[in-house]
Structure formats: structure tokens, C-alpha cells
Amino acid sequence: MSYFRAAGLSVRYDQVRAITDVSVELDEGDIVALIGANGAGKTTTLRAITGLTRLAAGEIVLDGRRIDGLRPDEIVALGVAMVPEGRRVFPYLSVMDNLLMGAFLRRGRRAIAADVERAFERFPRLRERRGQAAGTMSGGEQQMLAIGRALMARPRLLLLDEPSLGLAPMLVQEIARSILAINREDRVSLILVEQNSRMALRVSSRAYALETGRVALEGRSRDLANDDRIRELYLGG
Ligand SMILES: Nc1ncnc2c1ncn2[C@@H]1O[C@H](COP(=O)(O)OP(=O)(O)O)[C@@H](O)[C@H]1O
Ligand SMILES: [Mg+2]
């Protein structure tokens, strides 16, 4: 039995079918990628998993327990955190206060302080800017903060929605390294949504390619990176 399994997810917005019969599985400790063009249904899939969007059909099982139908805060409490598309930090709050917002469901000041320290070790630039308003930082720094804030909830499963979007290549590499470190050192399983298929296929072990709301291809990331159709559609030939 897999650690996480979403089966047959369908979501509609009024008459529009956003996703249809999307299934995603993840073993504990794994990184799985969802790739696909703009509008393919990647964000909708993540929002369905986190309870932010109502399912028209499908079921979601985490660690043997049905989580579809739970409220978003109940799903967070079970260890699922998401970094939304567009790295929504609180722009007028300091870096420090943004991190503390990520721990709002937790008690225990010492443990929280220790996790702030871990976030600073993971992203040293955040330490330097701890007092700075988050909205004044660069896109890359805001992405690091958004990830650091999500980690403050001590997730076991982290969903990242296009963390590399709009970042310069060097920063994309840095984010990719952070994702691998979070996976290996913090033992967090990840679902990584990316339009940057090259990066996503490099850091994940398995991947799903979404096309117009359906899973068009799935398999080991290594195999997909060599698949002619994937190369043509997602890797620029
Ligand atoms: N709030 C919404 N209302 C209506 N349609 C939406 C909404 N959000 C997304 N959609 C539609 O659902 C489909 C999937 O969108 P989305 O999940 O955002 O794709 P992706 O994240 O892969 O770019 C698209 O056709 C999009 O236009
Ligand atoms: Mg999206």
C-alpha cells in the first residue's frame, strides 16, 4: 500500500472540467513530479489534495486514512503542507514573522524556535534578512521563505506549486538542491508541480505528465526524461 494515493480525482469549475480521473501515488520518502503546460490541471490537483477545492469524484488516502472531505486545516494537521503558486508570503510582515505564521497550528515555543533556526540553516539568506519585510525581497528569496514557512508546520508531505517559476537559472538550481535536502535530511515526501520539466524530472523519482486535465503519461522520471514524446512536448525537443 502506498503512503499517499489520490485516485480518480475529478474537479469541475461550473461547466469547465479542470481535471478528470487524475490518479497520483507516492511512496513514503519519495519525490513525485507533476509536469504539464499552463492550464493542464496541476494546481487544481494540489488544491484538491489539500481540501481547498471540492472533488466531483475520486478519493485521497494518506497513510491508510481517507482525507478527502476533510477541511484544509485538518489536512494540514495530518502533516500535509503546500507552498502555493506565486509564493504568497505576507509582504508587510518580516521574514521572521512569516516563518512564525507557518507554525500557527503548533504549540511549544522552544520547538518552534528550533525550527526557525533550522529554516535559517536551510536558507542562510533568510537569517540575514530576518527583520526585512518579505515583500521587499527578491523572487528567489520569497520562494525560500515560502518553503521555509511551509516547513514550520513540520509536514511529512510537502506540495510545491511551481517553485522555480520566474527564477533565474542559478536560483532554480538552488531551489532544486533545497528540495533534495528537505527530502533527504528532513525526511519529507514531496509532490513537485513544475512547468520546468527538466528540473522536475531531475529531482523526482517518478512523474506524471498532465495534459488538459488528464494524466497523459506516467513513469520513472529517468525514463520520461528520455521519452520522445516528453522531450518534444516538455523539454524543447
Ligand atoms: N477558479 C477557477 N475557475 C474556473 N476555472 C478555473 C479555475 N481555476 C482553474 N481553472 C481552469 O481549470 C483548468 C486547470 O487549471 P490549473 O489547475 O490552474 O492548471 P495549471 O496549474 O496546470 O496551470 C484550466 O482550464 C483553468 O482555466
Ligand atoms: Mg498552476
**Ligand 1 atom nearest to CA at 47:** 17
**Ligand 1 atom nearest to CA at 161:** 21
Nearest CA to ligand 1 atom 13: 18
Nearest CA to ligand 1 atom 11: 18
Q: What would the pLDDT profile of 89-129 be if each residue is shown by its tens digit?
A: 999 999 999 999 988 777 788 889 999 999 999 999 999 99
Nearest CA to ligand 1 atom 1: 13
* Residue 183: pLDDT over 70: yes
164 CB less than 6 Å from ligand 1?
A: no
- Model pLDDT, residue 15: 84
Query: Parallel, antiparallel, or unpaired: how do β-strands 80-83 and 157-161 relate?
Result: parallel
Identify any residues that bridge with 59 across adjacent strands, giving them in sequence order.
Answer: 7
Percent of residues, the chain, with pLDDT higher than 90: 86
122 CB less than 6 Å from ligand 1?
A: no
3-state secondary structure 133-172: EHHHCCHHHHHHHHHHHHHCCCCCEEEEECCCCCCCHHHH
**Ligand 1 atom nearest to CA at 37:** 22
Distance of alpha carbon 70 from alpha carbon 223, whole angstroms: 35
Judged by average pLDDT, the poorest of 126-140, 169-183, 221-235 is 221-235
Nearest CA to ligand 1 atom 10: 18
Tell me the three state secondary structure of residue 91: coil
Q: Which ligand is nearest to the CA of 34?
A: 1
39 CB less than 6 Å from ligand 1?
A: yes
Burial 21-39 (b: 16+ CB within 10 A, else e): ebebbbeeebbbbbbbeee
Of 152, 146, 232, 196, nearest to 33 by C-alpha is 196
* Residue 156: pLDDT over 90: yes
- Model pLDDT, residue 38: 92
SS3 content of the chain, % helix, strand, coil (to 5): 40, 25, 35
Give the pLDDT mean for 192-203: 95
pTM of the full structure: 0.95
Alpha-carbon Rg of the chain, whole angstroms? 17
**Ligand 1 atom nearest to CA at 16:** 5
- Model pLDDT, residue 237: 55
**Ligand 1 atom nearest to CA at 210:** 22
Nearest CA to ligand 1 atom 25: 39
Q: In sequence order, what are the residues at sequence separation of 6 or more whose Cβ sits closer than 8 angstroms to the Cβ of residue 209? A: 35, 36, 197, 215, 216, 217, 218, 224, 230, 233, 234
What are the cell numbers at 222?
Answer: 529517468
Give the pLDDT mean for 136-140: 93
Sorted by where each starts, the structural domains of the chain and their CATH numbers stand as: 1-79+155-237 (3.40.50.300), 88-153 (no CATH)
Distance 69 CA to ligand 1 centre (A): 21
Helix ranges restricted to H, 57-136 = 72-77, 95-101, 109-122, 124-128
Q: Which residue has the cell 528540495?
A: 179
Distance 234 CA to ligand 1 centre (A): 19
